[in-house]
Amino acid sequence: MTGQNFSENHGVSNHRRSVFWVIFVGTAFTMLFVRVMFTLEAHLLFLVYTWTVAATIISRYVFFSIYKPTLLEYDEYQPTVTIIVPAKNESSGIYNTAQKLSLLDYPQNKLSVILIDDGSEDDTGVWIEKAERDFGFNTLHLDENVGKRVAISRAMEFNKSEITVFVDSDSFLDKNALIEGLRGFSDSKIAAVCGHTDVENTDDSWLTKMQTQQYFIAFKTFKSLESYYDSVTCCSGCFSMYRTNAITPLIHEWTNRKFLGKYRTFGDDRGLTNLLLKNGNNTVYLPEAKATTIVPSDFLGYSRQQLRWRRSYLMESISGSAHMWKRPFGAALIFYMTLFLTFMAPIIVTYFVLIGPIISGFNPFIYLAGIALILMLHQTFYWAFQPDSEKKVGYLSLLPMLPVWVIFTLFLLPWAMFTIRSTGWETR
């Protein structure tokens, strides 16, 4: 087994890395100075929040720089693999996903694919049948929509492989995704490997450009931090790999889980990861196991997706808080800190942006400047570490996130909290 530092990306110059760390240090100190100075006379809770935000952000970049996943040699582990792709009303999109899967660099006698038509009302079934004819994939047609979790559980009944891969119907695996991902199963306690997902439809709109930076930063920094402690809390539904014998005993519980008396109809990826961690399994992230996914290109679709994701995060984090303290100290600490920040965010933003200016004459632009500094740090990280490619977006593409984050924190997050029992997908 060998270790490899994936914080070093091909095509990224040492000059850019040096620039990043210089700006990182400068921005970090500036952020601490600006944010702490104007909160010193505030309530202790606000001061704690400020320092927690700073510690969380800085720690993500520190762990990105030191994260070195332990990897098997290439081809050292070549198990049988089954890829499961559930789809509903995807039309020709499911065929595009299947076509990418047909190009995977992996022994065909050890690879099988199951495409599921989850009661689609369009021609998704026709395209799945075409994929079956063209690529020899297995198919499963459900007469009525049963939901993603149940659809996957139906497919698992036919799964005899050592490794199970879940891929979203609008995601596309890199040719070497399986080979790279399998290298992560270097220890018997590792039950899941989360791949790295970038945005496929980068050039569709300003919103997809913004999300291109978001995805890159979120996977590279936060998942690297969690993976350092073998405790990735959400193995993405876009592309993740599992030991079949680790998830099979959990499928029934996973498909029938309830929250406040309601069945959980979304957050399937975070929910399954949560159960694995609860059972004492390890979950890791591999930057070189790559995929891309299609993201919302209009603001309404993006808002609905983010509402669903926030409900999922809140549900699974509240559930996970009962057992995450058993994980390594660093993983537990960042988990509870992030949960604390999530619940505090609407209160903090309301105070600094709306109430503070009225009752104490506080200048809200000081607070917004602190957020802008954080965004500049993120943008610099993306510029420094994302290899040059046709899909690399401009330096300031993340800047629209400033008003979006403020609006979502003031309105969308509280709404997610109040409607957490909702089972609607909003977009489906």
Give 197's contacts (C-beta < 8 A, 6+ positions apart). 171, 215, 219, 236, 238, 239, 290, 291, 292, 293
- Decide if 164 contacts 254 (C-beta within 8 A): no
Q: In terms of Cα–Cα distance, which of 388, 397, 378, 394 is closest to 61?
A: 378
Domain-located, residue 155: no
- Decide if 406 contacts 353 (C-beta within 8 A): yes
pLDDT attached to residue 172: 97
- The radius of gyration of the chain from alpha carbons, rounded to an integer in Å, stands at 22
pLDDT attached to residue 58: 82
User: In three state form, how does the secondary structure of 315-354 look?
Assistant: HHHHHHCCCHHHCCHHHHHHHHHHHHHHHHHHHHHHHHHH
Number of domain units in the chain = 1
- Other C-beta atoms closer than 10 Å to the C-beta of 366 total 15
pLDDT attached to residue 133: 95
Give 223's contacts (C-beta < 8 A, 6+ positions apart). 194, 232, 285
The mean of the pLDDT values for the chain is 87
Domain-located, residue 221: yes
pLDDT attached to residue 45: 66
User: Distance of CA 31 to CAs 54, 216, 225, 265, Å?
Assistant: 8, 22, 21, 39
Domain-located, residue 161: no
Q: Cα–Cα distance between 225 and 284 in angstroms, integer? A: 10
User: Distance of CA 141 to CAs 23, 85, 86, 399, Å?
Assistant: 53, 12, 10, 44
Give the H or E element holding residue 82.
strand 81-87
Listed as own residue / partner, the contacts of 32-39 with beta carbons closer than 8 Å and 24 or more positions apart are 34/366, 34/369, 34/370, 34/373, 35/370, 38/362, 38/366, 38/367
Domain-located, residue 115: no
- The pair phi, psi for residue 170, each rounded to 5°, is -115, 25
pTM value surpassing 0.85: yes
Quickly tell me which residue has 């995807």 as its tokens. Answer: 90
pLDDT attached to residue 201: 95
pLDDT attached to residue 54: 77
User: Distance of CA 300 to CAs 100, 168, 399, 403, Å?
Assistant: 29, 21, 19, 15
Domain-located, residue 306: yes
Domain-located, residue 119: no
Domain-located, residue 35: yes
Give 218's contacts (C-beta < 8 A, 6+ positions apart). none
The DSSP symbol for 393 reads P
Low-confidence ranges of the chain (pLDDT < 50): 1-11, 425-428
CA dihedral 408, 413, 414, 416 (to 10 degrees): 130
Domain-located, residue 423: yes
The DSSP symbol for 71 reads E
Question: What residues make up the domain containing 419?
Answer: 1-67+187-428
Q: In terms of Cα–Cα distance, which of 91, 250, 74, 244 is closest to 176?
A: 74
Q: In terms of Cα–Cα distance, which of 121, 114, 136 is closest to 91?
A: 121
pLDDT attached to residue 43: 59
